[in-house]
Structure 1
Amino acid sequence: MTHAAPASLLTIFGATGDLARRMLLPSLYSLQAEQLLPANLRILGTARSELDREGFANLVSASIADRIAAAERNDAALRGLLDRLDYAAASVDDDASMAALASKVQALRDGDVLYHMSTAPKFYGPACQSLAAHGAAGAGTRVMLEKPIGKDLASAIAINDSVAMAFDEERIYRVDHYLGKEGVQNLIALRFGNALFEPLWNARHIEQVQITVGETVGVEGRGDYYDDSGALRDMLQNHLLQLLCLVAMEPPAKFDPTAVRNEKIKVLRSLRPIGREQVAHESVAGQYTAGASDGVAVPGYADELGRSSRTETFVALRAHVDNWRWSGVPFYLRTGKRLPSRSTEIYIQFRKVPYSIFGGRTASDMQPNGLLIRLQPEERIELDLMAKTPGLDRSGLRLSQVGLDLDFHEEFANARKRIAYERLYLDAIEGNGTLFVRRDETEAAWQWVDAIADGWRAAGITPRPYPAGTWGPGAAVSLTERHGHGWRE
């Protein structure tokens, strides 16, 4: 893969939108404050909104005042960011405005250009092709695409084909913002930077793996969008499968885009299909009903939506990676809205000791070792070990489980908690695609998820109700307990 030069121009499509105001502009401010942006980088915002440069600068200032803590704001950094800004109103369906945008890009660039499509995915292809038609998508340009890339395999292929008419694959950076999180990169460091774990990272030593992405919120005004996607497409197809790939992949030859992504695609292609014959046993769909979240009464999904719906707000799966390393190890995946806690975590449970030398009650105290990698709300790694319970006991040693806890807030107390887009922008600006998703990964993930959705439709499976504030339907508990396992709560 050819290494790109740092970008001289970042052009953000949808620069006045929600994602830009909440995440993108604050991330650029933080990179500016830490002097991590290339000295010559200009930032061109574009959207349908008829703003001038000053109007866009005001929007950026308001976004930073709203999203960056007062203690981290300083006038010099804000001025430095505002000095980089420009704005051009454009609409994909108005060729004259796109021609004007392309001319502005050519006038502002002083080297490579990075485009960021922070828009609805249906605009990716037309926007990229329009840039190409006006001579603004050639050598030295690259494009970031936000998820979701489509809502099934067919639409993902259509979007990818459409973008590929303007940009070749090595210039396309598909964003999964989970890959920008410190905790996810720590998982890579933990696995491949420590001799302790890799010899144990296989079916001989690991009993089960659990990946949970829990949200306490409901649909929050995104009802119509969410109702068209659901938990399977919105969260599992991208975030959970990316986490599964990083847990399950073979060690890459080096930490570079091609090597890492080659190993991830092998995992996706090794996933045992969950189709029409398997969905009833290996998957659970749920939809929240009225309940309580943080002690406050909240309405059910159908009430928030204003109509009845068969869209799932919760999904749990029992997946298998059919290869030499993971044969027989279940990967339990679950994600949902209106769950009891906002948490993203990976739990790896090791096998029990083969024989207990401690008789009687002590043998029953024995718990398997576990490794917990938590990504949010706070990042931490915890290793559960057995240790002697303090005190004297006539019946011999008593054991209890203790956690060796690496709390990143304590260990790195002076390190600021970063927005995932800071890392993603830094890498994309510098032309490093390691933490972005390749086309074949996207399509392999859709192929696997589409089979589940098809199985649900064919079997007439509708989401089971669960009260808001609980861990999904009872069937999700049975999914693990049938096999002698239990969710880590």
Structure 2
Amino acid sequence: MSSMVIPVDPFDLVIFGGTGDLAMRKLLPALFRRDADGQIPATARILGLARTDQDTESFKAEARAALHKHVAVDELDSIALERFIERLSYLHIDVTDARAWGELVSYLNERPEHIRVYYLAVGPALFGPIAQGLAQVGLATTKARLVVEKPLGHDLASAMTLNRELSSVFNEKSIYRIDHYLGKETVQNLMALRFANALFEPLWNANRIDHVQITASESLGVGTRGSYYDTAGAIRDMVQNHLVQLLCLLAMEPPYKFDADALRDEKLKVLRSLRPITGRNVLTNTVRGQYLAHGPDAPSYLQEVGNPDSKTESYVAIKAEIDNWRWSGVPFYLRTGKKLRAQMTEIAVVFKEPAHSVFGDLETPSMPNVLSIRLQPDEGLQLVIMTKDPGPGGFRLRAIPLDMTFAEGRGSNWRMPDAYERLLMDVVRGNQTLFMRGDEVEAAWRWIDPIIEAWEASGLRPEGYDPGSRGPIAAVEMMARDGRRWREIEV
């Protein structure tokens, strides 16, 4: 089975920060794969733009090296590779210098009919100045789309300031706040699972669901991101955007149609229904942790960030509750951390056990049904159900997973598309369904800010945890108080 490839309209994509890690590791490989599959039209162009003083030929050489590093050898068809490389151009520009925009204007005005995509793969401090610069030279046209990456603010106040800066130049329908988690096939399949099947929606409420766990664990430490990470922490880096967005898609009401604003309206309702976690509730409903050292070659969090007094968390667990009719009484447990047992992202919907068991005398107890939605590794869905253990040796119950791993369902030659492939093409199409709206970002910060403020007011340090573990003991105790336990972190 093969996926249908629908070409997009001709476009010019300008990558501000075109020589940076995001461009080389994610954006250019994603664009190459779309080009190799025939989705990018012949006249489309890609322009790298940065302060690095180099020319187009050296940029092409850098891009070619990045593709060889980040794209599998069997995907690097030589003809497709050279065709893609020829699309690339480069401009050396300092966006803070108003006189430096002339070459960009000339480049884009060569093809005024093209859709224009401005991808800001730069620090958030440059988002506003770049948007203003584009407006001042007449490049913020009706055919232009502005793409911004996280962090979308450091708190509510800065997020509101950023939204004002962007909306003063671009219409909200031209702003694409990207969250690569929303481009993953499994996340999109979550919507198909709920709204394209009659099986689950009648069960998708507090009457049938006991609790939900959303886990994003990483096996590596902060590495070279230490200077950024120590100002953000796990709650800003992962919870405020990725995990909260997954919670919204899981908990939202069915939109009246599969439309960008209809879907985002429903996500916003979930964000506004999240019960505030404030004051002493923060001590019982949240846990912070920092990974410890493990030998001379495995430094602690404090050593990696070079700040022995840091109270920034590398792990966070939160018990979230939604105050509405559908979810009243159903806790949503969120956790994310670095240097944990495995690299894994999973949503687990744990259903309530039957009201009465007719198998009470059996040696093997029953287990709750669990719908597991795996984002990484091995994207797919799994439903655990109870069945009779085969054989003539009596009647014993056994938990059996009904497994749908997407790669297996497609065959050995099928490749799972990277999230950026889908999201970049959606920007060109003008489809905002998988992108965050400004009021969503602000609503998420309204819920997150009081948690951070209570942590800071408490003066408590994050709890240490061993690398390769499941995280702090306090997170296990938080679940145990509710009579529940975390699912295993495993590949």
* Per-residue deviation, 1:281: 0.9
CA offsets per residue over residues 37-78 of structure 1, 9 Å max, x none? 133211111111122221221122111111111111112211
Q: Which moved more, 1:352-361 or 1:202-211?
A: 352-361
Residue 77 of structure 2 is aligned to residue 78 of structure 1:
no
Q: Distance in 2 between the 1:104 and 1:69 partners?
A: 32
SS of match in other structure, 1:149: coil
How high is the TM-score relative to the length of structure 2? Answer: 0.95
* Per-residue deviation, 1:151: 1.0
Q: Distance in 2 between the 1:325 and 1:36 partners?
A: 41
SS of match in other structure, 2:224: coil
Is the CA contact 1:122–1:159 (under 8 Å) kept in the aligned structure 2?
no
* Per-residue deviation, 1:108: 4.1
* Per-residue deviation, 1:297: 5.8
User: Identical aligned pairs, as a percentage?
Assistant: 49
How many matched pairs?
479
Report the equivalent of 1:470.
469
Q: Distance in 2 between the 1:168 and 1:346 partners?
A: 34
Q: Which moved more, 1:420-429 or 1:397-406?
A: 397-406
SS of match in other structure, 2:48: strand
Amino acid at match of 2:379: E
CA offsets per residue over residues 254-304 of structure 1, 9 Å max, x none? 212111111111111110011123101100000010138xxx962211122
Mapping of 1:66-465 within 5 angstroms? Answer: 66-291=69-294, 298-308=298-308, 309-362=310-363, 365-393=365-393, 397-413=395-411, 414-465=413-464
Amino acid at match of 1:454: E
Q: Distance in 2 between the 1:97 and 1:348 partners?
A: 53
Report the equivalent of 1:55.
58
Q: Distance in 1 between the 2:165 and 2:61 partners?
A: 34
Amino acid at match of 2:341: P
* Per-residue deviation, 1:82: 2.0
Residue segments in structure 1 that go unaligned for 5+ positions in a row: none
Report the equivalent of 1:38.
41
Q: Distance in 1 between the 2:433 and 2:294 partners?
A: 42
Q: Distance in 1 between the 2:429 and 2:92 partners?
A: 26
Q: Distance in 1 between the 2:349 and 2:119 partners?
A: 36
SS of match in other structure, 1:402: strand
SS of match in other structure, 1:326: coil
Is the CA contact 1:44–1:87 (under 8 Å) kept in the aligned structure 2?
yes
The two structures, once aligned, show a CA RMSD in angstroms of 1.5
After the TM superposition, list the runs of 4 or more consecutive aligned residues in structure 1 that deviate by more than 3 angstroms: none
Is the CA contact 1:10–1:116 (under 8 Å) kept in the aligned structure 2?
yes
Residue segments in structure 2 that go unaligned for 5+ positions in a row: 1-7
Q: Which moved more, 1:423-432 or 1:451-460?
A: 451-460
* Per-residue deviation, 1:7: 5.2
Is the CA contact 2:205–2:327 (under 8 Å) kept in the aligned structure 1?
yes
* Per-residue deviation, 1:163: 1.2
Is the CA contact 1:286–1:315 (under 8 Å) kept in the aligned structure 2?
yes
SS of match in other structure, 1:400: strand
Amino acid at match of 2:246: L
Q: Distance in 2 between the 1:267 and 1:38 partners?
A: 39
SS of match in other structure, 1:16: coil
Is the CA contact 1:42–1:108 (under 8 Å) kept in the aligned structure 2?
no
SS of match in other structure, 2:453: helix
SS of match in other structure, 1:357: coil
How high is the TM-score relative to the length of structure 1? Answer: 0.95
CA offsets per residue over residues 157-211 of structure 1, 9 Å max, x none? 1111111111011100000011111111111111112111111011100000000
Is the CA contact 1:213–1:345 (under 8 Å) kept in the aligned structure 2?
yes
SS of match in other structure, 1:241: helix
Report the equivalent of 2:4.
none
